[in-house]
Chain A
Amino acid sequence: MLGLIKTLKTLGDRTPLGLKQLNHDRMRLLTAIAGITFADILIFMQLGFADALYKSNTQYPRALQSDLVIISTQAKNFGQLRTFARRRFLQAQDIPGVASAEPLYLGSVNWRNPQTRKQTSMLLIGQNPSQPAFNLPDVNAKLDAIQLPDRVLFDQASRGSYDEMIEQFKQGERVTSEIGLRTVEVAGLFEVGASFSEDGALITSDQNFLRLFPKREAGAVSLGLINLEPGADPEQVRAELAARLPDDVQVLTKDGYVDFELNDIQSESPIGFVFGLGSAMGFIVGVVIVYQVLSTDVNSHLGEYATFRAMGFRNSYLLGIVVEEAIVLSVLGFVPGLVIALGAYQLTAAATALPLAMPVSRAITVLALTFVMCGASGAIATRRLQAADPADIF
């Protein structure tokens, strides 16, 4: 402790040469800050996109309101769940602890945007209207409405121009559109958000779903929602279900299912790799720019550094100058990077309806990366210090 105080005192007593050097050459300082800011924004955007992708593609799985989930063994992800036989539900209800088992039907439909009259791809979800399937209060309040034929609930965070349509609906006007040959009417609004594969989603009853998908059979279910009796252990019931049901289905807990979806995106889609690579590129761009600035700075002060060494300063003192510059640059570059990235998140979120947010953990990660970036550049740049040998210069 005493040693630390002494060190801090020595630091405070020291002439802040790194800071003064940076401050003296404003152009160089601005170049470095711009470089780091750019690199940080790049990294923030890449991480943001990757996270938004994971989040937006698991929003419906996350919103599911059930203890256990049954899906086909061939299921890949929420968009490609395949189907399995509805009779698995009857078999499931034999297991002690299972209170109810409800089917969910999923499919991709082309619907005509009522405002622009353009066709877009929407995820259509058919659920039992007497039993809430999602933890979405706006949907659950309107379950009665979708019992009527050809009524759907519309995700108002869907990608595309729907503002006028939403306004019309809120003023009590009737809003209709077409899916295939059928005319459907919007019966309510809820908000989840678009994903990369689907522009938005519609929720309706299972009967309506089958009307809109005449080729699908009621017996071919996409996903099964199992609710347990109070006090039942989800993991134990899951194991029993898995043992009892045939191999064409798999049983997962709700969290296990969300992990299954995340795992699929992370491993199966190239997007995790692409955005990881993008972040790495940003990092390398930052290292190169900061190295360029720091090594030019060291080069242009070689004579002065050699003089300091002739006066009796140690090499570590000169290293300290470069490290100080690296730390100052990290902080000065990170702050505008963070601010601009926040703005860019807002813009992107507004333009794409992707859920982009800035968790504190990501800001800390990028700050740490910035320190590493500047530290690495500084470490390479200090190799030039070897040239500051007073005996060779004078």
Chain B
Amino acid sequence: MTQNHSIVVHQLNHSFGSGNLQKQVLFDINLEISAGEIVIMTGPSGSGKTTLLTLIGGLRSAQTGSLKVVGHEITGASENDLVKARRNNGYIFQAHNLHGSLTALENVQMGLEVQGNLAKPERHRRAAEMLAQVGLEERVNYYPADLSGGQKQRVAIARALVSRPKIVLADEPTAALDKKSGRDVVDIMHDLAKQQGCTILLVTHDNRILDIADRIVYMEDGRLLKQPELAAIAQ
């Protein structure tokens, strides 16, 4: 557990429900991700990938074991600490989840507004810059309804990365996109992450994008499988 690791998961278990209905979904998860590493987590539906991602992202609190994200212990953290922890992460979802009443620019600057330390003009300037980096400088004042699926996902990436988070968590970011848009989106993520030096944990079913990963982990029935098997599956 050196300082060099941005995510350290140690003997993490997680269950849903209580009493007789209690169902364990994560079993003894151990995972270490170094700063700047791009890790793809893959595996069948229902294997617990998204649950692990939401735990790391602070969307739910971890129950047993240890979960350290950028040095902060998340297991047993209060709601308030979780909210603060979320601000360190950039989140990219399967659906773009942009706010329909806000323009691309306004959506992106929400990623800065949540930090609460920049004035509006500065937030808008940085958001415009970020949109230019994802190739949407022409579309800053468009509403999501007027953007294509790939463009919307690029706005979502800009929103996640505009605050220069240390960790980016992506849940099936290419699932709703065609091959080319999906490729573009992943390339942009990859390039920006390398540029900003942030860690990416990406959950996906999409075999076409596995090549951007520094490492691939495979999850099945709530357990992370060993590396050699994984490599075979990735082929």
Contact = CB atoms under 8 A, between A and B. Distances in A.
Interface of A: 13-15, 17, 20-21, 23-25, 301, 303-304, 306-314, 390-391, 394
A160 B36 CA distance: 89
Interface in B105-125: 106, 109-111, 113-114, 119-120
Contacts of A17: 99, 101-102
A312 B84 contact: yes
Given A311-B91, A312-B84, A24 B100 contact: yes
B171 interface: yes
A21 to B, nearest CB: 5
A301 B95 CA distance: 14
Contacts of A312: 83-87, 114
B89 to A, nearest CB: 8
Given A21-B101, A301-B99, A390-B54, A310 B91 contact: yes
Nearest to B53: A394
| Interface range on chain B (Cβ under 8 Å from partner) | 20 to 34
Given A13-B120, A391-B54, A311 B99 contact: no
Contacts of A311: 86-87, 91, 110-111, 114, 159
Main SS class of interface, A: helix
28 contacts: A15-B109, A15-B113, A17-B99, A17-B101, A20-B101, A20-B102, A21-B101, A23-B101, A304-B97, A306-B97, A307-B93, A307-B97, A308-B99, A308-B110, A308-B114, A310-B57, A310-B59, A310-B86, A310-B91, A310-B93, A311-B86, A311-B87, A311-B110, A312-B85, A312-B114, A313-B114, A391-B59, A394-B54
Given A310-B59, A394-B59, A394-B171, A24 B101 contact: yes
Interface in B132-175: 143, 159, 171
Given A312-B83, A312-B84, A312-B86, A15 B110 contact: yes
Interface centre among A20, A301, A310, A313 (most CB of B within 10 A): A310
A226 to B, nearest CB: 70
A16 to B, nearest CB: 10
A350 B54 CA distance: 67
A391 B110 CA distance: 20
A340 to B, nearest CB: 29
Nearest to A18: B101
Interface centre among B59, B109, B119, B143 (most CB of A within 10 A): B59
A309 B159 CA distance: 14
B87 A304 contact: no
Contact of B59 (A13, A15, A20, A390): A390
Contact of A14 (B97, B111, B113, B171): B113
A325 to B, nearest CB: 11
Interface in B41-85: 50, 54, 57, 59-60, 83-85
Contacts of B114: 308, 311-313
B101 A394 contact: no
Contacts of B86: 309-312
Contacts of B109: 15
A342 to B, nearest CB: 34
B93 A394 contact: yes
A27 to B, nearest CB: 14
A239 to B, nearest CB: 69
Nearest to A13: B120
A15 B159 CA distance: 15
B60 to A, nearest CB: 4
**CB-CB nearest 7 A-B residue pairs:** A312-B87, A24-B101, A312-B86, A307-B97, A391-B60, A391-B59, A20-B101
Contact of A13 (B83, B85, B119, B171): B119
Given A17-B102, A312-B84, A394-B50, A303 B97 contact: yes
Contacts of A390: 54, 59
Contacts of B57: 310
A390 B171 CA distance: 13
Contact of B102 (A15, A314, A391): A15
A115 B43 CA distance: 94
